[in-house]
Amino acid sequence: MSQRNCNCLHLLFLFLVCQNLPLHAAALTEQAALDLALARPEFFSLQQARLDEAETALTEAKTWPNPSLTFEREGYAASHERSWQISQSLDFSGRRDLRQTAARQRMAATAADNRSRHHARIATLRQTFHALLMQQEQIRAIGTWAEHFSRLENIAGKLASAGEISGYDRRRLAREQQTAAARLAEARAEESYRRSRLEALIGEKINEPLAGPLRPAPPAALATLQDRLTAQPELVSLHAQLAAAETDGAIAQNNLPELTLGFGRKQLQDGPLHDSGNLVMLSLNLPFFDRQQAREQQATAQQQAARAEYSLAQQQAEGELHGLHRQLEQLITAADSYRSTAVQPSIELIRIAEKAYRAGESSLLELLDAYKGALETELTALDLEWKARTVRIALDQLTGKDPQ
């Protein structure tokens, strides 16, 4: 082996060691992407519109019914009789206050639904951000190894000219270089798609690379997350809906009659005689037949459905919490173990392969396999970290925790 070829292999080793040096260019972090997405006016308008729509029910419950004005005139021969009366229905049963309470409870459910959609939007953006970050890291890894394959192919060309390598070995190197180039082109196409998705979410073009760890931090203790579960927006919404259904039931069971009170005046003319007087009217509806049986039955069914839905959602959330927490811990452990036992020793394995090749103890294809194995190892590590990040995002969404 010539000294020049040995120098080329040393340069390859140095290039491998330096591949993970940090970039100093401006980069987009996860928090910056979230700030851009959540600051969009459309997002605020959508949430406010839902609250305004829910508030209409409270406004309706607070509004008094309009008074009624009645005017009557009767006349025959020389006699005339005229009267007018204004009447107003009054609520002494307490149903009006109960309707306001139910409306406020449904507003609380809508606010919780807004928070649930807020967390879902954050989760979607974080998934999209880290999918693009993972693709960016894959491109970096594949690009590095594609460059290594290209350098090896150049070395093979020089060795072939000196008669030190077979035509098969050189064609095999060329094929690996073409495969690496094809994988790099595929990764770049996927990166372009994921970048467009992230741009659509934040509403801006992304010209800078992404920055941040792909591997997530370990989760909090399970007991701590269980305490947070009671504030999970979906459960809060279902609990508020259950409370509103119970209030509707109280309204239906209230059978006190409605009272209508009226005041007016009556004038009478009979020939030369004139007379007038005040009118007072009191009206009560008598609940003989319709005692709101249908409404009470409907409210009971709604309470039963809301209570069952809340119970099922609570059990499902607790099950998902235990499953996601356990899965995240296992994936983080697997990713860390793989990094330490497989990825980090890759440089040493390549050094050994290069040394064996320089000593004539192995072929150039064996060195190629060492480089290719290191690439597959890095991609596997990235995949494990990506899966752990996906589970962490789902766990944060479930517990209503925003990223730090």
The chain-wide mean pLDDT, for the chain, equals 84
Confidence at 346, pLDDT banded by 50, 70, 90: confident
> Would you state the pLDDT for residue 271?
73
What average pLDDT does range 150-157 have in this prediction? Answer: 66
The 3-state DSSP class for residue 284 equals: strand
> Would you state the pLDDT for residue 14?
37
> Would you state the pLDDT for residue 351?
80
Least confident of 48-57, 82-91, 321-330, 340-349: 340-349
CA 340 vs CA 235, 333, 335, 374, 378: distances in Å: 41, 11, 9, 13, 11
Domain membership flag for residue 321: yes
- Extract the tokens encoding 286: 């008598």
What average pLDDT does range 328-337 have in this prediction? Answer: 96
Q: How far apart are CA 182 and CA 78, in angstroms?
A: 108
Per-residue model confidence as pLDDT tens digits over 290-306 = 777 888 888 889 899 99
What average pLDDT does range 342-358 have in this prediction? Answer: 79
Q: CB count, 10 Å around CB of 377?
A: 19
Q: How far apart are CA 128 and CA 122, in angstroms?
A: 10
Bigger pLDDT: 8 vs 312:
312
Domain membership flag for residue 80: no
Confidence at 238, pLDDT banded by 50, 70, 90: very high
Give me the torsion for CA of 378, 384, 389, 395, rounded to 10°: -170
CA atoms within 13 A on the CB side of 300: 7
Q: Which residues pair with 278 in a beta bridge?
A: 265
> Would you state the pLDDT for residue 257?
81
User: How many domains does the chain contain in total?
Assistant: 1
Domain membership flag for residue 268: no
User: Long-range contacts for 118-121 (Cβ within 8 Å, ≥24 apart)?
Assistant: 118/38, 118/47, 118/233, 119/233, 119/397, 119/400, 120/397, 121/37, 121/38, 121/43
- What is the side-by-side order of every strand in the sheet holding 79-90? 68-76, 79-90, 259-270, 273-284
Give the largest Cα separation in the chain, rounded: 142
> Would you state the pLDDT for residue 18?
39
237: domain CATH number? 1.20.1600.10
Domain membership flag for residue 170: yes
What average pLDDT does range 284-290 have in this prediction? Answer: 80
What average pLDDT does range 66-81 have in this prediction? Answer: 84
Return the H-helix or E-strand segment holding 85: strand 79-90
> Would you state the pLDDT for residue 259?
87
Return the H-helix or E-strand segment holding 254: none
Give yes or no for residue 119 having a pLDDT over 50.
yes
Per-residue model confidence as pLDDT tens digits over 363-373 = 777 777 888 88
Domain membership flag for residue 53: no
Residue with tokens 């259950």: 242
Domain membership flag for residue 83: no
Give yes or no for residue 152 having a pLDDT over 80.
no
> Would you state the pLDDT for residue 307?
93
The 3-state DSSP class for residue 183 equals: helix
Give yes or no for residue 71 having a pLDDT over 80.
yes
Q: How far apart are CA 32 and CA 167, in angstroms?
A: 53
Domain membership flag for residue 155: yes
Q: Is the full-model pTM beyond 0.85? A: no
Q: How far apart are CA 16 and CA 10, in angstroms?
A: 10
Contact predicate 244/298, CB 8 Å: no
Per-residue model confidence as pLDDT tens digits over 154-188 = 666 666 666 666 666 667 777 777 888 888 899 99
Domain that holds residue 342: 3-18+26-39+104-254+291-399
Give yes or no for residue 2 having a pLDDT over 60.
no
- Extract the tokens encoding 59: 């406004």
Q: How far apart are CA 90 and CA 64, in angstroms?
A: 9
